[in-house]
A and B are shown apart, each in its own frame.
Chain A
Amino acid sequence: MTFDTGCDRIEILLTSYAAGDLGPDEHAEVERHLVACQGCRGELLRERTLRDTLASMPLIPCPDRVTDAVMAAVDADENRARAAIRRIGFHGRRRAAVGMLAAAAVLALVFVVPSSERAIVDPVAETSEQTWSEEEILTARGEVRFTLALAARIIEKTEKSTISEVFGQRLPGVVTKSVKTLASSLEGGQG
Chain B
Amino acid sequence: MDKNAFIEILRTHRDRVFSYSVYCLRDRDDAEDVTQDAFLRLWRKRDEVDPDRVEAWLIRVAHNLCIDHTRRRRTARNYVARPEMKLAVEQAASAALAAGPDHGLVREQTRTLLLDAMSVLHEETRSAVMMHYFQGMKIEEIARILEKKTSTVKVQIHRARKALRGALELGAECGAVLERETT
Contacts and interface: CB of A to CB of B under 8 A. Distances in A.
Interface stretch (B48-56, B76-84, B89-97, B157-165): B157-165
B138 A43 contact: no
A53 B6 contact: no
B139 A57 contact: no
A61 B10 CA distance: 12
A55 B39 contact: no
Contacts of B157: 15
A46 B172 CA distance: 7
A53 B171 contact: yes
A67 B19 contact: no
Contacts of B139: 15-16, 21
A93 interface: no
Interface in A49-94: 49-63, 65-67, 69-71, 73-74, 77-78
A131 B14 CA distance: 76
B15 interface: yes
Contacts of B17: 62
A57 B40 contact: no
B19 A54 contact: no
A66 B32 contact: yes
Contacts of B65: none
A77 B157 CA distance: 40
A72 to B, nearest CB: 10
B154 A12 contact: yes
A83 B16 CA distance: 34
Given A47-B161, A63-B32, A77-B43, A53 B111 contact: yes
A59 B16 contact: yes
B40 A74 contact: yes
Interface residues of B, number: 44
A164 B106 CA distance: 88
Nearest to B33: A66
A66 B34 CA distance: 10
Contacts, number: 105
B110 interface: yes
A43 B175 CA distance: 16
Given A45-B172, A60-B18, A62-B18, A54 B134 contact: yes
Interface string B27-45: 0000010011001100110
> Which of B36, B44, B133 has most chain A Cβ within 10 Å?
B133
A56 B7 CA distance: 27
A70 B132 contact: no
29 contacts: A11-B158, A12-B155, A12-B158, A14-B158, A15-B158, A16-B154, A21-B138, A43-B161, A46-B165, A46-B169, A49-B175, A50-B164, A51-B133, A54-B111, A54-B129, A54-B134, A57-B19, A57-B134, A59-B19, A60-B22, A66-B14, A66-B18, A70-B10, A70-B40, A71-B7, A73-B43, A77-B43, A77-B44, A78-B3
Interface of A: 11-16, 19, 21, 43, 45-47, 49-63, 65-67, 69-71, 73-74, 77-78
